[in-house]
Amino acid sequence: MEDEEGEIYDGIRAQFPLTFGKQSQSQTPLELIHNSTRRAAPQNPNPNPQIGPPRPPPELPFSGPPPPPPAGSSAAPDEDEDVMVGPPPPPPGADSGDEDDDGPMIGPPRPPPAQASDSEDEEEEEEGTRFRIPLSNEIVLKGHTKVVSALAVDHSGSRVLSGSYDYSVRMYDFGGMNAKLQSFRQLEPSEGHQVRTLSWSPTADKFLCVTGSAQAKIYDRDGLTLGEFVKGDMYIRDLKNTKGHISGLTCGQWHPNKKETVLTSSEDGSLRLWDVNDFKSQKQVIKPKLARPGRVPVTTCAWDSEGKCIAGGIGDGSIQVWTLKPGWGSRPDVHIEKAHSDDITGLKFSTDGRILLSRSFDGSLKVWDLKKMKEPLKVFEDLPNNYGQTNIAFDPDEQLFLTGTSIERESTTGGLLCFYDRSKLELVSRVGISPTCSVVQCLWHPKLNQIFATTGDKSHGGTHILYDPTLSERGALVCVARAPRKKSVDDFEAQPVIHNPHALPLFRDQPSRKRQREKILKDPMKSHKPELPITGPGHGGRVGASKGSLLTQYLLKQGGMIKETWMEEDPREAILKYADVAAKDPKYIAPAYAQTQPEAVFAGSDSEDEEK
């Protein structure tokens, strides 16, 4: 029997792979990973109904059985029976049985049935559930030291570009990025100039970088420089005769369909169309219409969805739209004077070409009908804006549009993302992004279904990515779930040897002689007067002053047997103390003059003769 059981076991075991039954290493479930990035639920300052399923009413103190429903409520069925919000209602006879039951009630009391007067509230809540905004989770792409003013995500949603006031551009790749969320490349397009706009080409193989300088740059997908547009001659008065911009750029966008056409705007008061294949001169120069002759900066520009119209925000507060057609010139087809009371920071066309959105420093967002441009359809106020790159974005279906707000000094609210309903032109929701930083750029990617918002201040900046694991795809979900690689014992990283020849004294710039002289005078060793050379022997001189002199004299001097006091005495007193000895026992000079000059001529003092 045992042999038969063994044969049966071996036969069954042969039907399964060798790894069957082995314990695999435990992996962190995706739910726990996404729970770590879940956003805290702040208090929603929106007075309108919230986004998402309706909340049940607050619990009231319960005493006794729940009240029965009104008589006419069960007989009025809903017209929309396909869509049901919340749990299914109890059967009609369930309430009648509870009246006779005197036992304790388990669970919270049932909410009261909807009255006829609550039908309007239900309709608003049902409309609120139409917009499924991915807001449950959030990650932040860090690395910048100042506010992030430029943002661009390619059409596939695999690479993200962020530009900042710290003069750098960082490139992120979702496919190669792990949970550390680090950029794979950092660029500095123009030294000392802020990055203002980034834009991908239609094929996503190149991108445009616009900085505060007069020359825009083109990079390939990996961040290698392909070219730089030429700068114009600033001494030529007519802007149409220059080959490029002569002042700092303000905005730039790639053509939505043509991969060789680029649009830029500048502080010199012009818009220019460029050919990427020719960096030496522009294709077209557009000069806005002005009330007075002069140079008024063009603060922003935008293409429509088909690339047939160009919109520009002018420094005098006007919005001008040009239609690209054969023989077109600088005269605008649409001119809205005093559209805003301050500089315009963002313009956005809808895909269907019906409306135009504008954002300004005056704290407003205006909706314009392209067929009736005299007055705006709607004006949204109380949207503080302190950055010239604050933009507007649509959701993938263009049912909503969103914009960011800046922080004011005396305000208690942080940077917000405000969502508006396009059809009803009303506020839908406000989402707090950062309590201490302003929101500048925003973007809702259609393929990823994720919302990007750039924030920052004078000390740091980042790109916030909002997503929902049940609604979003790829992007942030991929890099968050990918844990960083663990270091192995066999890992080896060679320490790089840094060769810096300019740090050697041979390559250093010689300091000025004046500073060098002052530095030498402060040094006690270099400023010490050198000693006189030794002329003869004797302990009264300097023969025993150093350790290299006579050993006996040095030892006597260190032991205190030889005292050198002549340097501290007065020379005249040192000579006069031998006057009595010379008078009583003359040895050297006096005996030589004893016969010829018995009395010393200079024995007396000059002062005594003068007194006489």
DSSP notation for 490-511:
T---PPPPPP-GGGSTTTSPPP
In whole angstroms, give the CA distance from residue 438 to residue 383. 11
Q: What is the pLDDT of residue 133?
A: 87
- Among 314-323, 447-456, 495-504, 577-586, name the one with the lowest average pLDDT: 495-504
Q: What is the pLDDT of residue 524?
A: 85
In whole angstroms, give the CA distance from residue 455 to residue 416. 10
Torsion-angle region of residue 181: left (phi > 0), alpha (psi -120 to 50) or beta? left
Picking from 441, 442, 447, 452, the residue whose alpha carbon sits closest to that of residue 471 is 447
pLDDT-derived band at 91 (thresholds 50, 70, 90) equals low
Q: What is the DSSP letter of 277?
A: T
* Range with top average pLDDT, 58-72, 179-193, 594-608: 179-193
Q: What is the pLDDT of residue 152?
A: 95
Please write the tens of the pLDDT for every residue from 533-558. 666 555 445 554 555 556 777 777 77
N-terminal to C-terminal alpha carbon distance within the chain: 157
Q: Give Cα separations from 563 to 546, 551, 558, 567 (angstroms).
A: 15, 16, 9, 11
In whole angstroms, give the CA distance from residue 536 to residue 311. 98
Q: What is the pLDDT of residue 367?
A: 94
Q: What is the pLDDT of residue 312?
A: 94
Please write the tens of the pLDDT for every residue from 484-494. 666 666 666 66
Picking from 275, 271, 263, the residue whose alpha carbon sits closest to that of residue 247 is 271
Domains of the chain: 137-481 (2.130.10.10)
In whole angstroms, give the CA distance from residue 146 to residue 460. 4
Q: Give the mean model confidence (pLDDT) for residues 119-125.
A: 47
Strands (DSSP E) found in 221-354: 225-228, 249-254, 261-266, 271-275, 284-286, 298-303, 309-314, 319-323, 334-336, 344-349
SS3 content of the chain, % helix, strand, coil (to 5): 15, 25, 60
Enter the tokens of residue 377.
């359809």
Residue 433: pLDDT over 70:
yes
Q: Which residues neighbour 399 within 8 Å (Cβ) at sequence distance 6 or greater?
A: 130, 131, 421, 422, 423
Q: Give the mean model confidence (pLDDT) for residues 296-313.
A: 92
Q: What are phi and psi of 439, to 5 degrees?
A: -100, 125
Q: What is the DSSP letter of 572?
A: H
- Among 62-76, 223-237, 516-530, name the one with the lowest average pLDDT: 62-76
Identity (one letter) of the amino acid at 382? Answer: D
In whole angstroms, give the CA distance from residue 343 to residue 359. 9
Picking from 231, 256, 257, the residue whose alpha carbon sits closest to that of residue 246 is 231
> Cα Rg for the chain, rounded, in angstroms?
44
pLDDT-derived band at 65 (thresholds 50, 70, 90) equals very low
> What's this model's pTM, rounded to 2 decimal places?
0.63
Is-contact 480 34, C-beta < 8 A?
yes
Instruction: State the Cα torsion 560-561-564-565 to the nearest 10°.
Output: 90
Which pairs from 82-90 meet CB under 8 Å and 24+ separation?
A: 83/126, 85/53, 85/54, 85/125, 85/126, 85/129, 86/53, 86/54, 86/56
Q: Which helix (H) or strand (E) holds 1?
A: none
Q: Which helix (H) or strand (E) holds 555?
A: helix 551-559
- Among 12-16, 366-370, 473-477, name the one with the lowest average pLDDT: 12-16
Residue 50: pLDDT over 50:
no
Burial (0-12, 13-18, 19+ Cβ within 10 Å), 499: exposed
Please write the tens of the pLDDT for every residue from 6-31. 666 666 656 665 555 554 554 567 77
Helices (H) and strands (E) in the chain, counts: 11, 28
